[in-house]
Structure 1
Amino acid sequence: MNTQASRNDCFYAGQPVTYLVGPLERVLPPALLKVRLQTIAAAGPQNRLGLRPSRRSRHWDFDPECDGVVLTSGPAPDMADPARAMLDLLAGGPAVPPATAHIHIADRWLFLNFDHGLGGGRLFSEVIAAAGSEGHGFSEPAPVATTRNPGLRAVAHTVRKEPMRMLRALDEPLRRSAAVVPTGQFDEPESLAYARSQPGLLEEVRANRDSCLPRAPLAAIVLSAFLDGLRSHGITPEDEVGLLVDLGRYLPPGAGTLANFVGIAPIQIAPPYDPALVADAISEYTHGRRALVRYGMAYAARLRTRPAELPRWQTDSRRARIVVTDHANSAAAGKISWATTPDGHHFVRKAPVRYSNQISLAVNRVASELHLTASYYASTFDPEAIAAVLDRIVAADSPLVRMGQIATTSSRAGR
């Protein structure tokens, strides 16, 4: 059978997204996990796992047997170099696509390589949680996944509940974002840098944040430190940073989707990358509803075009085009059962990189640990510099715990 996907789904199709996480409390063996995934898929296409994404058609095949999902198993990976461990597992597995997903079970570690057309961070977190828990479907409480046309539902709900915020955001189409000017295609494997903090860092960061920038999201503080770190290593970021925003927050109670429902917030920020100013810019797009308007603008543009293939684009720019994702606050992430270990955990996430001058930064949290993964191209950026920036952010003397010194007096007064 087949089902109709949205044009938005088609634009995500064909882009692999990769995770390596562990150690978990337990992981189901391949045969039992396959049965569990089939149980989830049997509930219908809204659960996403049986879909076969396509960029060429909105009519997607739906296979509740999940034949497109490949499960393998092997020994625990060598986590002395987590980024290398992920790339080795990626190279040794089936290509995605044509497979819709590759899930590799390695002792209490889980490697997932998904076609992004299936969904985003919420879906992948639900799969990780289901792979490590008892039950016969999604881990309880099961996610709400039945909402059709989430964009329309979110807009209608926002207009009804907060009409003035929505009205003030309607000038968003007048704001100009920096256009990417590609000079041609290129073929280079993505490079990966990963760093994690020791347990307890985030408790200290939150305590400092609450004393000087109580309304600032963690993403703003991390982004400020990341941009400043790049600049100190000779890498100049563009003046606009793309922050992916989970738009599920705008849906009414009882509504939800496991499909990709995210918006891009173009955050305008310049040196010295004050975390208070970054937080204000993020708030304008989240609490100010501009991210929802941006989603509508992008969706309208996609209705006028057909998704093309997904080449990697070469640009003449050496300035870093930063795209940030942060899915750690989702309810699904909170259902993952991590093993109890004094050595901490690993949460490596490789995100798509479309342009030669792009750096995709994934921010994840496991309890009080901070996990950062940067995906980029080594022909443009020095791997040692990228690694040094991440290592500095998660160090015991991280700039994240000195935000009271970093945020300017005037910016704090303005808040």
Structure 2
Amino acid sequence: MNVVSPTHYTVHETDVALAGNWTVVALGPIDHGGVAGIRRALRTAMSIGPAARLGLLPDRTSRRWRYDPERLLRAVRQDSPITEDEYDSAMADVLSTHDQAEPISIVVRGDHVVFYMDHGIGDGQMIINISHTLADVTARHGIVPQWATAARTDRPLAVATLRCFGSDPRRLLRLLRSRLRPPARELDLRTKGAATVDGSTNRLVASPSITSSVCVVADAATIECTHELTRWRDAHRPGQSISILFFAALDAALRSQGVVVDDVAKVLFDVRRYLPAHLSTLANLSAGIDVALPDTTDTAMLSRRWKGIIDSGHPVANLVLVSLHSKLGRLRSSSTPETPPPASDTVRLALSDIGRHPRLNDIGFIGESTSAYRAMVAPASHGHVTLTTARLRNSIRVTASFHAEFVDADTIRRALRLACSTPIELLAPGSADSPESDRTPTIDSTV
């Protein structure tokens, strides 16, 4: 009996809102099996149908999207081999030559792979899922990846909302009180015209077609430096996360290089934390929150802000608002596009932290010390520097994406090097208390 594959699939409103934005990833060296091997792995993942989301064609005008798995398979191509040192140019090439009709495109470059993903397909979790699948030998041999079959809920945002505010109605009251004076432009989210809501952080971004000036700079702390920061944290800032400490170091490093950083930063929060443990979703379920941070060196204050935002349910409310904006935008699709706000005189930071994600660290890299992973996320706006951080193989990695005509690339490069080499000195000048703290670790630009 022939099984007829569905031709359409109904996605979530958050997917519609965030379609058209992108991430470009470079990783390697990995055993990917070449173009044929990657196609076999993708075909295996898509064997369960459009619920795996691979093969969907994002459409900002409807929640009912076409499903065309063969188009994805055709979008896997071969190009000349590259090394990690050529990641920046390879990612720029993918971005400048990308066919908008391909929501996912994958280029094999020797032992390395560069791929583009439209954020309508999913958020950062889907980026990691695809990255893992590219090096998944079992998927090439017909075993469906676990991420594709994990327990899912049909209405993840509704479940998260009811679980968050239904379990404690006082949260809603506290949230309303905290939102009486929101940071400037926080609610200025648009889903049409010259700006859209970004796929990973719900932030205002330039039109996806305006990519010519997008620049990426990457760096990493060595394993020794990362361990040193962890030991210093345990001794001097117990209970605080490495992610928050490193973000504070990045902020301080940028300011030390003369970058006029705004006191409001946009921070990504994963709304999946509000779902029951047995439920998950492949849909977009990440919310970008504008956070007032007058003194990022006060990491205890940063920790309280993070915890307060999570405890109040603010990320859930933000994503509900994004969905509402998206739906209203589709209903008034014939109206005149809105004009984006003018660029700020200061540089705004946007933070997307992957943390120590188990699936990211489970990618089948060739060689323990040579693994490289770099993600270029669409800048939050022409006035933003978007920082993507992660812990890969016990090393902190960071990528900054921004518009080159607004921010100087060499300045950003120096700031990232400073944060990755001497984070403790940036957090508490003069507090380094070991001989290792006085030396600059070997430069490692792997991200």
Give the TM-score band, short-chain normalised. Answer: 0.7 to 0.9
* CA distance in structure 2 between the partners assigned to 1:144 and 1:163 by the alignment: 30
> Of the candidates 90, 104, 107, which is equivalent to residue 104 of structure 1?
107
Compared with structure 1, are the counterparts of its residues 311 and 174 closer, same or farther at alpha carbon in structure 2 (3 Å cutoff)? closer
* CA distance in structure 2 between the partners assigned to 1:361 and 1:312 by the alignment: 26
Compared with structure 1, are the counterparts of its residues 255 and 8 closer, same or farther at alpha carbon in structure 2 (3 Å cutoff)? same
Q: CA deviation at 1:166?
A: 5.4
Q: Secondary structure at the match of 1:61?
A: strand
Q: CA deviation at 1:121?
A: 1.4
* CA distance in structure 2 between the partners assigned to 1:143 and 1:335 by the alignment: 18
Kindly indicate whether residue 176 of structure 2 is the aligned counterpart of residue 148 of structure 1.
Answer: no
- Alpha carbons 2:218, 2:374 under 8 Å: kept: yes
Match of 1:330? 357
Kindly indicate whether residue 411 of structure 2 is the aligned counterpart of residue 385 of structure 1.
Answer: yes
Match of 1:27? 32
Residues 251-287 of structure 1 show CA distances to partners (whole Å, capped at 9, x for unaligned) of: 1022111111001222111146322222221121124
Match of 1:11? 17
Match of 1:320? 347
Task: Count residues with an aligned counterpart.
Answer: 400
* CA distance in structure 2 between the partners assigned to 1:54 and 1:211 by the alignment: 51
Match of 1:190? 214
**Counterpart code for 1:126:** N
Compared with structure 1, are the counterparts of its residues 404 and 116 closer, same or farther at alpha carbon in structure 2 (3 Å cutoff)? same
Match of 2:53? 48
For residues 75-90 of structure 1, the aligned pairs below 5 Å read 75-90=80-95
* CA distance in structure 1 between the partners assigned to 2:341 and 2:175 by the alignment: 33
- Alpha carbons 2:355, 2:391 under 8 Å: kept: yes
Q: CA deviation at 1:78?
A: 3.3
Compared with structure 1, are the counterparts of its residues 228 and 128 closer, same or farther at alpha carbon in structure 2 (3 Å cutoff)? same
Q: Secondary structure at the match of 2:364?
A: coil
**Counterpart code for 2:367:** T
Match of 1:413? none
- Alpha carbons 2:45, 2:145 under 8 Å: kept: no
**Counterpart code for 2:351:** V
Identity, % of aligned positions: 20
**Counterpart code for 1:225:** A
Residues 63-119 of structure 1 show CA distances to partners (whole Å, capped at 9, x for unaligned) of: 24344761112343132353233223444x542x21111111223212111111101
What is the alpha-carbon root mean square deviation over aligned residues?
2.9
Alignment TM-score, normalising by the size of structure 2: 0.81
* CA distance in structure 1 between the partners assigned to 2:158 and 2:427 by the alignment: 39
- Alpha carbons 1:158, 1:166 under 8 Å: kept: no
Q: CA deviation at 1:311?
A: 11
- Alpha carbons 2:12, 2:283 under 8 Å: kept: no
- Alpha carbons 2:252, 2:427 under 8 Å: kept: no
For residues 4-403 of structure 1, the aligned pairs below 5 Å read 4-24=10-30, 26-67=31-72, 70-91=75-96, 93-95=97-99, 97-135=100-138, 136-140=142-146, 144=150, 146-159=152-165, 161-162=167-168, 164-165=170-171, 167-179=173-185, 187=210, 188-271=212-295, 273-306=297-330, 315-342=342-369, 344-395=370-421, 398-400=422-424, 403=427
Moved more, 50-59 or 333-342: 333-342
Moved more, 67-76 or 10-19: 67-76
* CA distance in structure 1 between the partners assigned to 2:233 and 2:169 by the alignment: 31
* CA distance in structure 2 between the partners assigned to 1:43 and 1:389 by the alignment: 45
- Alpha carbons 2:353, 2:388 under 8 Å: kept: yes
Alignment TM-score, normalising by the size of structure 1: 0.86
**Counterpart code for 1:78:** T
- Alpha carbons 2:183, 2:292 under 8 Å: kept: no
- Stretches of structure 2 lacking an aligned partner (at least 5 in a row): 1-6, 196-205, 432-447
